[in-house]
């Protein structure tokens, strides 16, 4: 399906495509007033094995991550596609990325920066990016709607009822032509919290993923009764240029702390220097494969991309909530459709009011990633 | 081998068949007098990746489960098949399901209900369904014998000698014809306990697997010196109908609590409404693939099966041992040879004398499973 | 590549070879004056799933171990091969075995004994056999050099800078002909320790891997400031005979305990009774596949090998450091290029000055392994 090896039963009815992903990072941070933040090292960001395929009209996918020597099931679903009234609809049951924001909805392995943006991070619910439940996606010629009802994480214990998340996202292309398209999107979720959720916290990393000490902090919100968030997306692609902006507000009701809001925004833009079309899929509103015109592995130069991103985090409405921002310059070298090298320079600042790294602090983090994904 | 994708070296000598399994459950319990038992949620029951194949006359299989984000090795064995005096014998070394009771001996993914029956659960030894050791299976035209000597679980620490289980099971078909067969079976194991086994407990779930609070409880048996169990199996298949009954007694000797017996029985019957032959293998005495006459994925209706089961648990001989029963109605929709949807309605009651849920209690659990297995 | 199943995209550009490994052990120890050392049991030594392949000139490999129901990433790398001035050079990024000693540099699945020798064990650094970083290997007609700079283990937390290891190894064949070759080798590493390394210990098992109680012990070395080791290798292959000797010294500087040295030596020799060429690769200086002349799976006898090894451990320079030795006789039966049965008899003695098993002690351990690896 994606050009990698695919195998079929003798009658072609049963297909099986092995999936693999290796993402290897080097990360180094400098300039913080805290020594513990100025650290360097290597890490495996993703190490995955899995498979997908079809049995007739049924689809399946299973994908497991082993980075950090921990097992973490990512995709694990069954799907069924149909076309009532000529409208393509796919139903999914299982564990999947929820349709929520541009970068929360899609695989990190195709996105233009090493880490997802502030909106994807801050707008995530208690149960994170993935959820076990039912999903539906419907597609028109210039729009798509994705909705889901999902329970707890795949590793939840069975001594309490699950939290339930109701999520929906719609994207629309008011202009869509040969040269590019305009992307508009919006999403919302409401999370009915299980009894076992007695507090909520979310302290996203702001440099590379390697650095555990570099986060926007906040006190945890006790006794949450309701969790909801929404967001807006605006952007587009023109020839070999692209630009996107996203904004989110997450609102947590608490019986003891009152309502707490968290905001984040992300604006990014990029240029495929070597002339490739940006990999953004207008159909689903997520980043897909950048098709390389002249792959290194066939004697060419590969694709080169220059990109910038501005992320803003604002937790000030929360008890002791901090603020922060990061400005990222990224240089991506796509060797072929499955491999790339990424260099991200992140100029960040944090102003935390709680935790080990209080007060204004700033510095920069440099990250290098080697990646293969199929 | 099972109709899925299989790959061969150029000389056909080395085969490799990828294996995958996805089982996704929704479960909901109602009617208990304990709120903590009336819970609902989603869970991944099995998520597996693996492979099997042959290198000439040698066979191999490796199958690892990742549900709940935990790694659990299931099948991991090498085999060698031979035919002395025309009698097919297969030897195995490694980790495998022990030949013990109808449902304990075979894969859950082919059995007619979402969970194994009371006999498989109550009759299990300290080291559970799987064991690392040596196995042999011999087959006649209307009988089979399976025996094994196995040590500790695959994740046992090496600071003590293993417990050793000696297990044997035999099945026999006094009648076997075109229309069906009669199945008789019996099994026994004796477990020589290692020094690290200082107490034994076994508190099986009685509703769906999701619900951790819904169990038959018992105090643990301290200072066990010997563990053994035996069971009987009776049943048969006639055209598109099937019925089976099983009974077990497990006996644990203890130097401090005296001998303790545990009993369980299970009776079940089913009807393949759409005319398929039940998937029960007369050869090995376990459930195998239900071959679907008109698969959904080829435009048909799939196979539909209606089944019932009555399970009885009796731990009263144990200190503070409880009793319980569950009556299950199951509706199975086999989309094709690798996929099915299961709906199980379980009407249960427990009478525990120890733990958080003491005294008579009853209710019902509804489970829905989507499954693909190849 | 190794004769197992390999799959290609339709244009042959993208290859994928599934990898699997099953190693099943039985181990039994007798003769120790400590009962806790005289234990027996089964264990899975390695259970792996993975894949390797190429995308044009890029190579990749991912290999994950699941033995003991723990997830442990082994190989996870990307590679690029080039040939400047006719000299083959391969660059690797990721997690890999460091080039360090004969048996530390190569896969256990191809080595002639069930466990790696004393030199591989004692000469290992804080971060063990594997490291996440960059590697380069260059090959001449009768030499090879391997060098690496690697950070922490793959499961290291990101709250501190990584330790860094700089490692190099060179091998040389002064004589290399049709009948055999002489192997000379030497290696060195220097490890710049991270702040999170507050003490070092290394208490290698001396019998089979199963027995956790059978180790050479030593007090841990507090406040290490520097870690380095070097070693020498000498050996060769003549027709169907082989022999190798290795020696290592590891030196740990400590700000509180002063410098501590640890020594180990290993001498081994073997005879392929059935006439096969020993699998040792003169090119890389590691053990590779023993090509079986008459495989069992094709009706032959397989390859039979008799081997001996003498290992010496000397930790006496460390606070309370012990000594020990093990003499091993091994009989290997290679059924074909991917399968073998190993019988190892180890006559060991330990003289520990700390821990639960102090004073002179000796005994013997017998191990049996069934293995398939592709």
| A18, A55, A135, A163: best to mutate for the B interface, most B CBs within 10 A | A55
Enumerate the β-bridge partners of residue C69: none
pLDDT of residue A2: 59
For residue C119, what is the enclosing H or E element? helix C118-122
pLDDT at B312 over 70: yes
Phi, psi for residue A21 in degrees, rounded to 5: -150, 130
Helix, strand, or coil here: C56?
coil
Tens of pLDDT, residue by residue over C320-341, are 999 999 999 999 999 999 999 9
Residues B47, C361 contacting (CB under 8 angstroms) = no
| C11, C14, C63, C130: best to mutate for the A interface, most A CBs within 10 A | C14
Residues A181, A144 contacting (CB under 8 angstroms) = no
Question: Within 10 A of A254 (CB to CB), how many other CB atoms are there?
Answer: 19
A partners (3+ CB pairs within 8 A) are B, C
Please, what is the average pLDDT of chain B? 94
Label residue A271 left, alpha or beta by phi (over 0 means left) and psi (-120 to 50 means alpha): beta
pLDDT of residue A143: 97
Residues C125, C189 contacting (CB under 8 angstroms) = yes
For residue A64, what is the enclosing H or E element? strand A58-65
Distance CA A309, CA A331 (A): 12
CA atoms within 13 A on the CB side of C38: 9
Closest residue to B56, CB basis, from C18, C36, C297:
C297
The share of chain B scoring above pLDDT 70, in percent, equals 99
Structure tokens at B129: 């369904």
Residues C341, C333 contacting (CB under 8 angstroms) = yes
Give every CB contact of residue B267 below 8 A, 6+ residues apart in sequence: B243, B244, B245, B246, B309, B310
Distance CA A164, CA A144 (A): 23
pLDDT of residue A297: 80
* Contacts with C213 from chain B: Cβ below 8 Å: 158-159
pLDDT at B69 over 70: yes
Distance CA B37, CA B215 (A): 10
pLDDT of residue B3: 64
Q: Closest Cα partner for A107 from A320, A307, A281?
A: A281
The share of chain A scoring above pLDDT 90, in percent, equals 87
* Contacts with B192 from chain C: Cβ below 8 Å: none
Closest residue to A41, CB basis, from C56, C95, C161:
C161
Distance CA A12, CA A56 (A): 9
CA dihedral B297, B303, B306, B312 (to 10 degrees): -80
DSSP class of A36: G
Contact between chains at C159 and A5 (C-beta distance less than 8 A): no
pLDDT of residue C12: 74
Average pLDDT over residues A181-206: 94
Helix, strand, or coil here: C10?
coil
Helices (H) and strands (E) in chain A, counts: 1, 21
DSSP class of A14: B
pLDDT of residue C201: 87
For residue B61, what is the enclosing H or E element? strand B58-65
pLDDT of residue C157: 83
Please give the full DSSP string across B189-227, using - where no structure is assigned: EEEE--TT--EE----B-S-TT-TT-B-----EESEEEE
pLDDT of residue C2: 59
Q: Closest Cα partner for B209 from B359, B75, B62, B326?
A: B326
Helix, strand, or coil here: C298?
helix
CA B93 to chain centroid: 20
Pairs across B and C, CB distance < 8 A: 130
Diameter of chain A measured on Cα atoms: 65
pLDDT of residue B13: 83
Strand B164-172 and strand B180-192: pairing?
Answer: antiparallel
Please, what is the average pLDDT of chain A? 94
For residue B352, what is the enclosing H or E element? strand B339-352
Average pLDDT over residues A70-97: 94
pLDDT of residue A56: 84
Lowest mean pLDDT among A30-39, A289-298, C70-79: A289-298
* Contacts with A49 from chain B: Cβ below 8 Å: 49
Confidence of residue A318 (pLDDT cuts 50, 70, 90): confident
Distance CA A66, CA A22 (A): 10
Average pLDDT over residues C3-18: 80
Structure tokens at C330: 């091994």
Contact between chains at B339 and A161 (C-beta distance less than 8 A): no
Average pLDDT over residues C138-153: 95
Please give the full DSSP string across C133-151, using - where no structure is assigned: EEEEEEE-SSEEEEEEEE-
Closest residue to B158, CB basis, from C70, C211, C295:
C211
Distance CA C311, CA C315 (A): 13
The share of chain B scoring above pLDDT 90, in percent, equals 87
Give every CB contact of residue B11 below 8 A, 6+ residues apart in sequence: none
pLDDT of residue C154: 85
Pairs across A and B, CB distance < 8 A: 129
**Domains of chain C, start order:** 16-373 (2.40.160.10)
Contact between chains at C49 and B58 (C-beta distance less than 8 A): no
pLDDT of residue C3: 63
Average pLDDT over residues B87-112: 96
Confidence of residue A137 (pLDDT cuts 50, 70, 90): very high
Closest residue to B9, CB basis, from C3, C66, C210:
C3
Phi, psi for residue C298 in degrees, rounded to 5: -115, 20
Cβ-based interface (< 8 Å): residues of C facing A: 7-9, 13-16, 18, 49-51, 53, 55-58, 60, 62, 64, 70-73, 76-78, 93-95, 132-133, 150-152, 154-162
* Contacts with B65 from chain A: Cβ below 8 Å: none
Closest residue to B297, CB basis, from A9, A58, A150:
A58
To the nearest whole Å, the CA of B155 is away from the closest chain C CA by 4
Please, what is the average pLDDT of chain C? 94
Enumerate the β-bridge partners of residue C96: C131
Structure tokens at C55: 């995308």
* Contacts with A156 from chain B: Cβ below 8 Å: 41, 43
Closest residue to A156, CB basis, from B41, B71, B209:
B41
B partners (3+ CB pairs within 8 A) are A, C
Confidence of residue A200 (pLDDT cuts 50, 70, 90): very high
Residues C144, C137 contacting (CB under 8 angstroms) = yes
DSSP class of A358: B
Structure tokens at A121: 């991070």
Confidence of residue A158 (pLDDT cuts 50, 70, 90): confident
pLDDT of residue C238: 98
Average pLDDT over residues C271-280: 98
- Cα distances from B167 to residues B80, B211, C75, in angstroms, run 20, 31, 38
CA atoms within 13 A on the CB side of A355: 24
Cβ-based interface (< 8 Å): residues of A facing B: 7-9, 13-16, 18, 49-51, 53, 55-58, 60, 62, 64, 70-73, 76-78, 93-95, 132-133, 150-152, 154-162
Enumerate the β-bridge partners of residue B180: B238
Residues A290, A305 contacting (CB under 8 angstroms) = yes
Q: Closest Cα partner for B291 from B309, B310, B272?
A: B272
pLDDT at C37 over 70: yes
Distance CA B219, CA B237 (A): 39
The question of ipTM being above 0.85 is answered as yes
Structure tokens at A246: 């996203």
Cβ-based interface (< 8 Å): residues of A facing C: 3-7, 18, 20, 22, 24, 26-27, 36, 39-44, 47, 49, 66-71, 209-213, 295-298, 335-336, 338-339, 370, 372, 374
* Secondary structure E strands in C239-320: 241-254, 260-272, 280-281, 286-287, 303-314
* Contacts with A195 from chain B: Cβ below 8 Å: none
CA C62 to chain centroid: 18
Helix, strand, or coil here: C282?
coil
Distance CA B323, CA B207 (A): 14
Q: Closest Cα partner for B39 from B360, B358, B371, B357?
A: B357
Torsion sign over Cα C55, C60, C66, C72: negative
pLDDT at B221 over 90: yes
Enumerate the β-bridge partners of residue B143: B172
Report angle CA C248, C253, C259 to the nearest 5 degrees: 75
Question: Within 10 A of A360 (CB to CB), how many other CB atoms are there?
Answer: 10
Torsion sign over Cα A353, A355, A358, A362: negative
Residues C32, C360 contacting (CB under 8 angstroms) = no
Contact between chains at C40 and B162 (C-beta distance less than 8 A): yes
Distance CA A74, CA A62 (A): 7
Contact between chains at B338 and A159 (C-beta distance less than 8 A): no
Average pLDDT over residues C72-96: 94
To the nearest whole Å, the CA of A47 is away from the closest chain B CA by 15
User: Can you tell me which residue has the tokens 């039940």?
Assistant: B278
Helix, strand, or coil here: C108?
helix
């Amino acid at each position: 399906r994606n050009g990698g090896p695919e195998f079929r039963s003798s009658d072609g009815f049963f297909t099986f495509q092995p999936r693999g992903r290796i993402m290897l990072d080097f990360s180094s941070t400098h300039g913080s007033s805290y020594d513990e933040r100025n650290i360097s090292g290597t890490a495996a960001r993703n190490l995955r094995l899995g498979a997908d395929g079809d049995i007739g009209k049924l689809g399946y996918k299973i994908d497991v991550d082993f980075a950090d020597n921990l097992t973490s099931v990512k995709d694990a679903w069954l799907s069924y596609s149909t076309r009532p009234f000529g409208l393509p609809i796919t139903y999914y049951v299982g564990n999947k990325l929820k349709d929520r924001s541009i970068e929360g909805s899609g695989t990190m392995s195709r996105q233009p920066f090493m880490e997802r943006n502030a909106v994807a991070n801050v707008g995530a619910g208690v149960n994170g990016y993935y959820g076990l439940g039912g999903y539906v996606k419907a597609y028109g010629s210039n729009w798509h709607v994705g909705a889901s009802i999902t329970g707890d994480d795949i590793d939840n214990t069975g001594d309490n009822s699950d939290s339930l998340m109701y999520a929906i996202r719609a994207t629309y292309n008011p202009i869509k032509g040969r040269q590019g398209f305009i992307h508009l999107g919006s999403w919302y979720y409401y999370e009915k919290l299980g009894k076992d959720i007695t507090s909520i916290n979310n302290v996203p990393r702001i440099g590379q993923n390697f650095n555990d000490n570099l986060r926007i902090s906040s006190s945890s919100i006790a006794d949450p009764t309701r969790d909801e968030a929404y967001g807006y997306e605006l952007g587009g692609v023109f020839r070999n240029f692209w630009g996107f902006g996203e904004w989110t507000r997450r609102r947590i009701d608490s019986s003891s702390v009152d309502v707490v809001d968290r905001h984040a925004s992300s604006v990014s833009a990029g240029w495929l220097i070597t002339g490739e079309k940006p990999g953004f899929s207008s159909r689903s509103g997520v980043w897909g494969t950048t098709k390389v015109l002249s792959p290194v592995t066939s004697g060419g130069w590969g694709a080169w991309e220059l990109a910038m991103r501005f992320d803003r985090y604002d937790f000030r409405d929360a008890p002791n909530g901090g603020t922060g921002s990061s400005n990222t310059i990224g240089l991506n070298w796509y060797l072929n459709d499955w491999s790339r090298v990424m260099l991200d320079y992140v100029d960040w600042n944090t102003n935390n009011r709680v935790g080990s790294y209080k007060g204004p602090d700033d510095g920069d983090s440099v990250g290098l990633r080697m990646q293969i994904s199929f």
